[in-house]
Structure 1
Amino acid sequence: MTSICVVRPALSARAEGYDVYAVIDASGTCSEEARRISIVRLSRAGVRVADVLGMAAELQAEATGDTAAEETESSHVGVRWPARRPPSRPRTR
C-alpha cells in the first residue's frame, strides 16, 4: 500500500537528508482518498512525487545527456518534468 510501503520509507529517507522520488502509480492503495493523502504528505515533506512514465522520461533524458531540455516545475506536486521536444524528422538518404 502506498501509505505504508512508499510513504514511510520515503519520509525516513528525507529525514536522513536524501533526495527522494516516489513513483506513486507503482504502488496501490485501498482508496483514491488514501492516495491523495499520501501525495500531500510526501509533497509537504519535500519528496518528489512522479508517475512511471514521467520518471522513465526523466531517466532517459539523464542517460542520454540531454541537458538542453528545459525543465518545468509542476505546481501541485513539485515534480521536475523534462520539456517536450519536437518530433524528430525521418532520415533521408
Structure 2
Amino acid sequence: MRGKRYPDEFKIEAVKQVTERGHQIADVAERLGVTPKSLHNWINKFDKPEKQHITIDNQQDEIRKLKAELRRVTEERNILKEAAVYFASESKKSTRS
C-alpha cells in the first residue's frame, strides 16, 4: 500500500535541510514525519542539477504515458481475442445446420 504523497517542493526543502544545512537525515525525517528511507530516496532524486531533474521528469512522464497506452492496447487485444472466439463458435454452429 502506498503512503502519503508529498509535493516536490516539500521534498526539495527536506533535501536542502540535509545537504545544505547539515542536519542529520534521521532528525529531519522524524521532524517532518517521513521515513529515513523516503528522505534518502528524495536526496538521490533531488540532489542533482536542475537540468537533470527536468530530463528525469520528462522521462518519467513518457514512461507513464507508455504504460497507460500499453494497458489500453492490451485491453483492446483481449477484447478482440474474445470476439474472435465468439465468432468462431458462432460460425461452427451455423455450418452444422
TM norm. shorter chain > 0.5: no
More helix by share: 2
Q: Give the number of the structure with larger relative contact order, counting CA–CA contacts within 8 Å between residues 6 or more apart.
A: 1
Report the TM-score when normalising by structure 2. Answer: 0.28
| Greater strand content | 1
How does the TM-score come out when normalised to structure 1? 0.29
